[in-house]
Amino acid sequence: MKYTIEGAPLPVVICDLNPEETMITERGSMSWMSPNMKMETTTGGGIGKALGRMFAGEAMFQNRYTAKGGTGLIAFASSFPGDIRAFEIAPGRELIVQKSGFLAGESGVELSVFFQKKLGAGFFGGEGFILQKLSGTGTVFCEFDGHVKEYNLQAGQSIVVDTGYLAAMDASCSMEIKSVPGVKNMLFGGEGVFNTVVTGPGRIYLQTMPISGVAAVLSHYLPSSN
């Protein structure tokens, strides 16, 4: 499989497949394709994994696109202004991504739900609670909101991230959701009640324009239904 990523800040990844090569995607991410691409809708590993993906913010079913009778072309466009990044997934090189961050990938890639260890804090942490884990083997494409800033954290090195700005991290990193210290800071600081603390070793990817934040800002300018 060969690919190009074009068109930022509204990017699209265009994949050229060899005969019988397969790509997987969810929630209707296919934008255009050659006529010989055959689509098959599956649970992607059984009903248990399908329910797990639904809990992580994805669709229960996966679409598999296979090039039949020759080489094929298929494109996947982002759903929001930002960036599409390619990652090589392999044993020991798993990736944790924001829910709805997975765009498409080769058929050897597996998706599962990633739970924050501290369940109680996670329920109140919003965006930081449920993430996706990408494992298996193959190339994956993830879509992030806005500009992406990378940091390579050393072992024991931490960074505090406002909820929703964590786009992805290596599976070697750990994360913890912590409340903002001080009642006054919580109530009047305007920065929310919880932050996500990510600790290395590993690389993290932060996004500058989470779609949840954009929706919150726009809500102030939309007419009320009352």
pLDDT at 213: 72
Q: What is the pLDDT of residues 159-210, one digit of tens each?
A: 999 878 999 999 999 988 887 665 444 444 445 567 889 999 999 999 998 8
Peptide bond into 35 cis (omega under 30): no
pLDDT at 149: 97
Cα–Cα distances (Å) from 213 to 22, 146, 198, in that order, read 35, 11, 20
Map out the domains of the chain with their CATH numbers. Answer: 2-214 (3.60.160.10)
How is residue 37 written in tokens?
Answer: 């691409």
Q: What is the pLDDT of residues 35-45, one digit of tens each?
A: 999 999 887 65
pLDDT at 193: 66
- Number of neighbouring beta carbons within 10 Å of residue 225: 4
pLDDT at 87: 98
Whole-angstrom distance, CA of residue 116 vs CA of residue 68: 41
Q: What is the pLDDT of residues 131-150, one digit of tens each?
A: 889 999 999 999 999 999 99
**DSSP per-residue codes, 72-117:** EEEEEE-SSSEEEEEEEE-TT--EEEETT-EEEEETTEEEEEEE-S
Mean pLDDT of 206-218: 80
pTM: 0.83
**Paired residues of 64 in beta bridges:** 24, 40
